[in-house]
Structure 1
C-alpha cells in the first residue's frame, strides 16, 4: 500500500498534465501499485479490465458488512443487551452457536441452487439485505420487549440472519473468484477488514471511556447502524461487473449436496484444508473462556469487558492488511503462522491464569486476547483466500459449501468444551485449544502453495 501511494505522489509531481484519475482507480493503484495492478490471473479478460471498479465495490461492501458484524457481535453486544433485559441464560447461550453453525451447516445445500445462477452477485446482495433487516429489527425489538419475549424474538431473528449468511458466504467466494484476480483477493478482503475494525475499535473505546453510556438505547442505535451497513453493502455489491459463469452442477439441492460429498473422498488437499480449518476453530472458540477466567478471579464488573473490546478491535486494525497481503503470496504460510500464534496465545493465557495477580488479571488477559485475535484474523483471511485460490470456477462454490458445512457441524459440538470446562476447569479447555492450534500448523504444512499454481 505504501509503495502504491508513493507511486501516485511521484507521478503527480513529475507529470502535472496527468489527467485526474477516478477515485476507484486511485484506490486500486494505492493498494497494488501500477505494475502489480495490471496483472490478471484466473479471471476473464473483461473482468480484468473492470478490476479497479470491482475491487472498490468489494472493499466498500465487505467493510460495511464487517463493521455491521462488529456492532452486532453476539459474543458481546447481543449477549449484553439480552442479559440487561432479563432474557434467560439458556437463550443467551444459544447466540454464538446459532450464529456460527447456522451460517455454515446449510451451505452444502445452498451451493447447488447458487450454482444454477449465471450471475451470483444477486444472491449475495439479497442475502445481505435480509441480514440488514434482521439486525435492524433486533434494534427495535430490544426497545420494545424484555425478559423471555425479547430473548426468543432475537434468537428467531438471528436464525433467519444465519440462514441468509450461509447463502451469502457461498455466493461471495464464487463472485470474488470471478471478479478479482488471484494475488489480489487477500489484500482486498484484508483491507476491508482493517477499515471495519477501525469503526468497531472506535465504538469499543467510546464505551470503555464512557463517551457512550452502556445502555440499551445505545446498543439499539448500534444495531440500527449495523443493519444499515448491510443494506448499503447490498446496493454497492450490485454495481460489480460480474461475467455470467458456468451453471453445470446446479439443480436439486439434496442431490447436489450428496454429489459434492464425493469431492471429500477424491481431493486430498481438500481433506487437509478442512482438517486444518477444523482444528483452527479453537481461535474463535477461546475468547469467551478468557473472559470466564477473568470473571472467576473476581473481574465480574461489566466494565472489565472494555479492555477486551479494545484489544479485539486493535488486533484487527494492525493485522488484517498484513495477513491479507501475505495470503496473496502464500495462504498456506498464513495458516501455519496463525496456528503457531494461536498456540502461543493459549500458552500465554495459561501463564496468566496461574501467575498473574488479580489486580492485573483483566488487562493481562486482554493482552493475551490481542495476540489471539491477531491469530484469528490470520485464520479467517488465510482460509478464505486459500479456498478461493485452490478451487476453479467449476469447483469453488462446492469447495466452499462443503468445508463450511463440515466445520459448522464441528461448531455444533462446541458445547462439549463447555462441559469439559465444568468438569475439569477452564484452564484444561485452554490447554486443549493450544494443542489444536499446534496440530493445525502441522497439518497446514502439507497444503499446496495454491498462489503459485
Structure 2
C-alpha cells in the first residue's frame, strides 16, 4: 500500500484535514503516524478476529464437550484464559522494559498465540476425552501467557506511535473490522447450516494464521526507541508498581472503576443460563447468538466508542457503566415477567450488554494510555491488568453464589457493581484535556 493511499485512509478515519495531530509522540514519529495508524488497525483487527474464533466461553467449551473431555477441563477454560493473560504482567513488565523497541515482544507474543491455536486444533483432531482436555487447556495456558506479553507491551507501543487524539479511533476501527468476520462465524455456529465441528476446526486454524500474520505486520511499525530503565528485578519492580497505588489517587480510582466493570465480562454466561433454563441444545443456541450479539455490538459501536474515547474516555466509562446497569436490570425484569425466554428477549439484553462491554474495553484502554506518561505507561498497564486478573480469578465465586442463591442473585450483584462503577468513574479526570 502506497504512502498516498495510507494518508488518505488515515485522514478518512480520523477526519484530519489540516495538518497532523502529534500531541505526545516524538516529533520524528509524526511523519510515520499514518502508516503506523493503519498498521495498528490491521494487526489488532487480525488478533481480535482470532480471539473471536477461539472464544473459550463459547467455542472451546463446545469443542471439549464434543470431544468427551471431563467437566473439570471445561471449567478451567475461562479462568486459565483470563487470569493467565493478566496475572503475569506485573512480573513481566519490568523485564520487557529492557527492550527499547517493544514491538518485537508483541510480535513474538502474537506468533506464540498462533502456534498455540494451531496446537489446540491438532489436539482436537487427534485426541479425545481427558487427553484432549489436558492438551487444549495447556495450549490455552501458553496462549494466555503469550497474550499477557502482548497486552503489557501494546499500550506502550501505541502510545509511542499514535497520537493521543487518535488511539481510540485506531483500536475502535480494528474492533469493527474484526466483528464482521466473527459475525459470519457466529452465524454458521448458531444456524447449523454447516456441521459445527469442521467450522470450529477451520476457525482455529484461521485464528492461528491471523496471529502469525499480525506478528509480521506489527514488526513493520516505525517505533522510536524508548526508555529502558526500571527493568532490573521483576519482583522488586512488582513491589514498586504496587507502590504506585499509594502515590496516584487517579490510578486508584481508575482501577476501582475498571474492577467493578468486570461485571460486563462475567455476566453473559449467567444471562444465557437464565434464559435457556437448563435445555442444553437451546443453551448452545443461546451461546451461538451470544457470539453474533457480541460481534454485532462491536461492529456497530466500536468505532463510535473509539472516537468518543478520544474526546473523553471518562465519559465513555460512565456511559458504558450506565448501559451495563440498564442491561442487567432489564434481564432481571424480563425474567420476572417470563419474557427472557422469548425469541427476542435474551438476544436483546445480550446485545445491550455487549454494547456496554465494548465501551468499557475501549474506554479503559484509551484512558489508561492517556493518563500515563511514556515512562509510567508500561507499569500502569501491568499493575492494572494484574489486579483485574486477580479479581477475575476471584470471579469464580459467582458460580458458587449461583448454585446456592440462584442466577438472578448473581445478575443482581453484577448490576450493583456496574452502578457503583458509575460513581467511581465520575471522579476520574478528563485526561484528554491535559497536556503531557
Provide TM-score, normalisation by structure 2: 0.97
Aligned residue number for residue 426 of structure 1: 407
In the alignment, the residues of structure 1 paired with residue 161 and residue 221 of structure 2 have an alpha-carbon distance, to the nearest angstrom, of 8
Partner residue of 1:41 out of 23, 28, 35:
23
In the alignment, the residues of structure 2 paired with residue 23 and residue 71 of structure 1 have an alpha-carbon distance, to the nearest angstrom, of 30
Q: CA deviation at 1:313?
A: 1.3
In the alignment, the residues of structure 1 paired with residue 331 and residue 370 of structure 2 have an alpha-carbon distance, to the nearest angstrom, of 34
Partner residue of 1:51 out of 26, 33, 41:
33
Aligned residue number for residue 178 of structure 1: 160
In the alignment, the residues of structure 2 paired with residue 305 and residue 168 of structure 1 have an alpha-carbon distance, to the nearest angstrom, of 28
Partner residue of 2:294 out of 312, 328, 351:
312
Structure 2 stretches of 5 or more lacking a match?
none
Number of aligned residue pairs: give it: 432
In the alignment, the residues of structure 1 paired with residue 39 and residue 432 of structure 2 have an alpha-carbon distance, to the nearest angstrom, of 23
Structure 1 stretches of 5 or more lacking a match?
1-19
Aligned residue number for residue 440 of structure 1: 421
In the alignment, the residues of structure 1 paired with residue 53 and residue 18 of structure 2 have an alpha-carbon distance, to the nearest angstrom, of 35
Return closer, same or farther for 1:219/1:267 CA change in 2, 3 Å cut-off.
Answer: same
The answer to whether the Cα contact below 8 Å between 2:276 and 2:341 also exists between their aligned partners in 1 is: no
The answer to whether the Cα contact below 8 Å between 1:347 and 1:431 also exists between their aligned partners in 2 is: yes
- Residues 176-201 of structure 1: CA deviation (Å, up to 9, x unaligned): 00000001000000000000011101
The answer to whether the Cα contact below 8 Å between 1:60 and 1:236 also exists between their aligned partners in 2 is: yes
Aligned residue number for residue 98 of structure 1: 80
SS at match of 2:366: helix
Aligned residue number for residue 209 of structure 2: 228
Q: CA deviation at 1:203?
A: 1.1
The answer to whether the Cα contact below 8 Å between 2:340 and 2:346 also exists between their aligned partners in 1 is: no
Aligned residue number for residue 101 of structure 2: 119
In the alignment, the residues of structure 2 paired with residue 368 and residue 304 of structure 1 have an alpha-carbon distance, to the nearest angstrom, of 12
- Residues 107-137 of structure 1: CA deviation (Å, up to 9, x unaligned): 0011101111111000000000000100011
The answer to whether the Cα contact below 8 Å between 2:310 and 2:432 also exists between their aligned partners in 1 is: yes
In the alignment, the residues of structure 2 paired with residue 265 and residue 376 of structure 1 have an alpha-carbon distance, to the nearest angstrom, of 29
2:390 is the counterpart of 1:409: yes
The answer to whether the Cα contact below 8 Å between 1:208 and 1:303 also exists between their aligned partners in 2 is: yes
Aligned residue number for residue 383 of structure 1: 364
In the alignment, the residues of structure 1 paired with residue 281 and residue 50 of structure 2 have an alpha-carbon distance, to the nearest angstrom, of 27
In the alignment, the residues of structure 2 paired with residue 36 and residue 298 of structure 1 have an alpha-carbon distance, to the nearest angstrom, of 58
The answer to whether the Cα contact below 8 Å between 1:29 and 1:37 also exists between their aligned partners in 2 is: no
The answer to whether the Cα contact below 8 Å between 1:28 and 1:37 also exists between their aligned partners in 2 is: no
Q: CA deviation at 1:208?
A: 2.7
Aligned residue number for residue 259 of structure 2: 278
The answer to whether the Cα contact below 8 Å between 1:330 and 1:450 also exists between their aligned partners in 2 is: yes
Partner residue of 2:325 out of 327, 343, 362:
343
SS at match of 1:53: helix
Return closer, same or farther for 1:347/1:299 CA change in 2, 3 Å cut-off.
Answer: farther
Return closer, same or farther for 1:36/1:78 CA change in 2, 3 Å cut-off.
Answer: farther
Aligned residue number for residue 293 of structure 1: 274
Partner residue of 1:159 out of 131, 141, 150:
141
SS at match of 2:357: helix
Aligned residue number for residue 170 of structure 2: 188
In the alignment, the residues of structure 2 paired with residue 421 and residue 353 of structure 1 have an alpha-carbon distance, to the nearest angstrom, of 15
Return closer, same or farther for 1:391/1:297 CA change in 2, 3 Å cut-off.
Answer: same
The answer to whether the Cα contact below 8 Å between 1:298 and 1:358 also exists between their aligned partners in 2 is: no
Return closer, same or farther for 1:289/1:393 CA change in 2, 3 Å cut-off.
Answer: same
In the alignment, the residues of structure 1 paired with residue 247 and residue 304 of structure 2 have an alpha-carbon distance, to the nearest angstrom, of 34
Q: CA deviation at 1:259?
A: 1.4
In the alignment, the residues of structure 1 paired with residue 354 and residue 411 of structure 2 have an alpha-carbon distance, to the nearest angstrom, of 15
Aligned residue number for residue 15 of structure 1: none
CA RMSD of aligned residues (A): 1.4
Return closer, same or farther for 1:258/1:84 CA change in 2, 3 Å cut-off.
Answer: same
Partner residue of 1:396 out of 369, 372, 377:
377
2:212 is the counterpart of 1:212: no
Provide TM-score, normalisation by structure 1: 0.93
The answer to whether the Cα contact below 8 Å between 2:331 and 2:340 also exists between their aligned partners in 1 is: no
In the alignment, the residues of structure 1 paired with residue 79 and residue 147 of structure 2 have an alpha-carbon distance, to the nearest angstrom, of 14
The answer to whether the Cα contact below 8 Å between 1:55 and 1:180 also exists between their aligned partners in 2 is: yes
In the alignment, the residues of structure 1 paired with residue 53 and residue 156 of structure 2 have an alpha-carbon distance, to the nearest angstrom, of 26
Instruction: Return 289-298 or 363-372, whichever deviates more.
Output: 289-298
The answer to whether the Cα contact below 8 Å between 2:188 and 2:199 also exists between their aligned partners in 1 is: no
